[in-house]
Amino acid sequence: MSPPFSRMLRSFAIFLLLVGMQSSVVAADQIAGRVAGGRQPIAGAKVSLLLASPDAPREIAAVLTAEDGSFEMPLPAKKVGAGVFYLIAQKGPAITLMATLGESPPKRVTVNELTTLASAWTGAQFLSGSALRGNALGLRIAAGNVPNLVDLETGELGPVIQDPLNSSQTTTLAKFNTLAILLSACVNDPQACEQLFAVATPPGGATPTDTLSAMQNIARYPWHNVKEIYALLDQFHPVPAGKRWRDTPFIPYLSFAPRAWTLSLVFAGGGLNSLGGIAIDGEGNMWADLNFLVGAQSTIYQSFGGGLGKIAPNGRPLSPMTLGYRGGGIDGPGFGIAISADDKVWATSLAGKNISVFDRKTGKPLSPESGYDFGGKLGSMQGIIVAPNGDVWALDNGNSQVVYLPQGDASRGKIFTATENGNGSGVTLPLKSPFHLAIDQQDRIWITNSGANTVIRFPAKDPSKFEVFTVGFAPRAVAIDSQGNAWVCNTVGHPDTREKLALIQAKLKAAIESRIGTESKADQEAKEWINLYEILQRFPGGDVSLIRPDGKVLGPFHAGKTITGPWGIAVDGNDNIWVANSTGRSVTQLCGVRPETCPPGFQTGDAISPPGGYIGGLQIITDVDVDPAGNLWVANNWDRPDEGFKEEPDLALSTRFGGNGTVVFYGLAKPVKTPLIGPVQAQ
């Protein structure tokens, strides 16, 4: 190659590079997009770019769409402030569409029915008409989840809603498309808008006048007018004579009315398998106890213990695939997990019979390889909390003990037992397989006795001054609301037949007798789990008790006898209650102690959710938690107990005992501050 030609080629390459740089600069300084409805362009729509923050949203720019629905919107050269960008497209008084973009606007955007639905559901707790505002973390979480539902550039379905865990395993995809079909009918027909707005009117509220407000109402009250909303599908798109399918702009769609118009997605990876307790950290990441190791042939008789899992607010796995975070003595953690203000994650192990500590940012273990086991004095561990003053309290379910670590210092730890054993604490407590615990505004520790029907309470500074409260049988989780009330899940509930009482007594007797024989401790514990599961299967039920700060017990509340095997419980920023129905494979929402935050007509203990609770991607579940965006995170614990209760399961199903992943319900609850240290606080 001659030198002149080489110089000319280099010059041409530099020219192309400069052109490319210029193009990228131009593209970064504007948004190019289109607005569509029913897969048809919407001309003459006003498109506004706004910035959402804790303050009122600010309009950054506005343009009109061309005949083909396209638009180009210049962006200011200077930084306009921190927050989440979003687009509002309006045509006439009734049509308002939305697309939440995130902290950095993309180069190309489509605004349509799918982007509107994704934005309305993920931002349900922050929207008021076309105004989006709220806590900074919650807004980022909401925006980060929009791409799971919709591709913002194309306006088509997003990757997660179409993945194998969601597309064919839940009804979320068909439900999402059905809502989009109803919305598209309104975009193209004013009469359809009138019908849609009528059924999207909130309980006791005003009829919406635009599409975005209508979708917000359905997202916030997904249990309201469910059948009436679904009936519009047949009115707007009846099946043509001689045809099998409706002529709709989106497929697939629902063939049957849903229980509620919730949108939920299943997330897996990061070692998630058989999730026990879960907790949300200060960045909105979900941490989970993993009962079993992914891929292991675990059964109730012989299991391969898992570690800890960490999932980003948008569902992306952050912990190592398959193994999760291990070390520090972690071995099959159960329901005990807590996050402290100094960025430590505390977990208790069932199999390891110890307490472990991990660094929240790196996932590295901070506890010794054996964990904190107090010289082998601990049994199968369950609940753990970090108090506002930094003290750590944990429960030994197997040996009926309470472990106290002042300021999280295991070297100064104490053990409180049911019978004095010379441990030096000088205090005995009425413990019977303690399972979960919480601390209230008066620094009182609340503990559930899963082997009985009692809850105990004592001042953190003086456990000897304990009180005992009678609730339902086999209480599991306890949560404290902002008013200091304790809410307790009674897994078996309040038996109301002589036969059921007799069965429980027989099972408990068998469990006690099994400890006297020559069976191994593992076999004894396996029998107790099987006994409990058989009770729940034969006599489905359970309820929730409320214990006021003055000690008065209210309830039980059972949501019309549709609460089944309640296990985990959470309180949201409105003091409403969320119950994880383990064997019911659903979540129930109860009106809390502030009825003014509930829909009109609901009183404390009433079920807001439909009979049987909210469903979607749930297996046998344990825990439930609320994040700063108002999303509900639920732990899938068991998938195939029929195989897991066998000493030798079917080989084809031998890795299916543990539940698969976590389920996130978008925008259902009032946001809360995380991590939860002490009673709930609204975000």
Per residue in 503-554, pLDDT (tens digit) is 666 666 665 555 555 456 666 667 677 777 776 776 678 999 999 999 999 9
**Model confidence at 299: pLDDT above 60:** yes
- What pLDDT does 80 receive? 83
Q: pLDDT exceeding 70 applies to what percent of the chain?
A: 89
Kindly report which listed range (82-91, 118-127, 440-449, 499-508) carries the lowest average pLDDT score: 499-508
Kindly report which listed range (242-251, 510-519, 582-591, 650-659) carries the lowest average pLDDT score: 510-519
Q: Which of 171, 321, 374 is nearest to 260 (CA)?
A: 171
- What pLDDT does 504 receive? 62
What residues does 402 pair with on adjacent strands?
A: 395, 416
Q: Does domain 264-495+539-665 have CATH number 1.10.1060.10?
A: no
What does 209-223 look like in DSSP terms, one character per residue? SSHHHHHHHHHHSTT
Is residue 12 packed enough to be buried (19+ CB in 10 Å), middle (13-18) or exposed (0-12)?
exposed
Cα 354–chain centre separation: 27
Dig out the tokens for 58 from the structure: 């600010």
Sequence-distant (≥ 6) Cβ neighbours of residue 498 within 8 angstroms:
none
Could you tell me the end-to-end alpha-carbon distance of the chain, in angstroms, rounded to an integer?
Answer: 68
**Model confidence at 497: pLDDT above 70:** no
- What pLDDT does 76 receive? 82
**Model confidence at 450: pLDDT above 70:** yes
- What pLDDT does 588 receive? 98
Q: Quick check: helix, strand or coil at residue 354? A: strand
> How many angstroms separate the CA atoms of 120 and 218, rounded?
9
Residue 425: pLDDT band (50, 70, 90) is: low
- What pLDDT does 533 receive? 73
Kindly report which listed range (11-20, 279-288, 587-596) carries the lowest average pLDDT score: 11-20
> What integer best gives the mean pLDDT of the chain?
92
**Model confidence at 459: pLDDT above 50:** yes
Phi, psi of 648 (to 5 degrees): -130, 95
**Model confidence at 283: pLDDT above 50:** yes
Q: Are strands 486-493 and 543-547 parallel, antiparallel or unpaired?
A: antiparallel
**Model confidence at 88: pLDDT above 80:** yes
Dig out the tokens for 78 from the structure: 């200077």
Residue 284: pLDDT band (50, 70, 90) is: very high
Q: Are 649 and 594 in contact (CB under 8 A)?
A: no
**Model confidence at 3: pLDDT above 60:** no
Tokens 């997330």 sit at which residue?
267
Q: Are 442 and 460 in contact (CB under 8 A)?
A: no
Q: Are 35 and 69 in contact (CB under 8 A)?
A: yes
Alpha-carbon dihedral sign for residues 368, 371, 377, 383: positive
- What pLDDT does 12 receive? 43
Dig out the tokens for 31 from the structure: 């948004």
Number of Cβ atoms within 10 Å of the Cβ of 228: 13
- What pLDDT does 510 receive? 61
**Model confidence at 327: pLDDT above 80:** yes
Tokens 């009117």 sit at which residue?
201
Rounded to the nearest 10 degrees, the angle between the axes of helix 113-122 and helix 211-220 is 40
Residue 78: pLDDT band (50, 70, 90) is: confident
Strand residue runs (E) in 142-282: 264-267, 275-280
Sequence-distant (≥ 6) Cβ neighbours of residue 512 within 8 angstroms:
none
Residue 18: pLDDT band (50, 70, 90) is: very low
Task: Find the mean pLDDT for residues 133-155.
Answer: 98
Task: Find the mean pLDDT for residues 6-32.
Answer: 47
- What pLDDT does 19 receive? 38
Kindly report which listed range (13-22, 227-236, 465-474) carries the lowest average pLDDT score: 13-22
**Model confidence at 640: pLDDT above 90:** yes
Q: Which amino acid is at 3?
A: P
Residue 22: pLDDT band (50, 70, 90) is: very low
Tokens 């799918």 sit at which residue?
114
> How many angstroms separate the CA atoms of 249 and 183, rounded?
11
- What pLDDT does 507 receive? 62
Cα 92–chain centre separation: 37
Sequence-distant (≥ 6) Cβ neighbours of residue 108 within 8 angstroms:
31, 32, 33, 153
What residues does 614 pair with on adjacent strands?
A: 587
34-to-118, 235, 251, 252 alpha-carbon distances in Å:
17, 29, 22, 24
**Model confidence at 567: pLDDT above 90:** yes
Alpha-carbon dihedral sign for residues 162, 165, 166, 168: positive
- What pLDDT does 79 receive? 77
> How many angstroms separate the CA atoms of 42 and 587, rounded?
40
SS3 letters for 105-116?
A: CCCEEEECHHHH
What residues does 266 pair with on adjacent strands?
A: 663
> How many angstroms separate the CA atoms of 222 and 494, rounded?
30
Residue 481 exposure: Cα atoms within 13 Å on the Cβ side? 24
Task: Find the mean pLDDT for residues 667-678.
Answer: 98
Q: Are 144 and 313 in contact (CB under 8 A)?
A: yes
**Model confidence at 5: pLDDT above 50:** no
- What pLDDT does 81 receive? 85
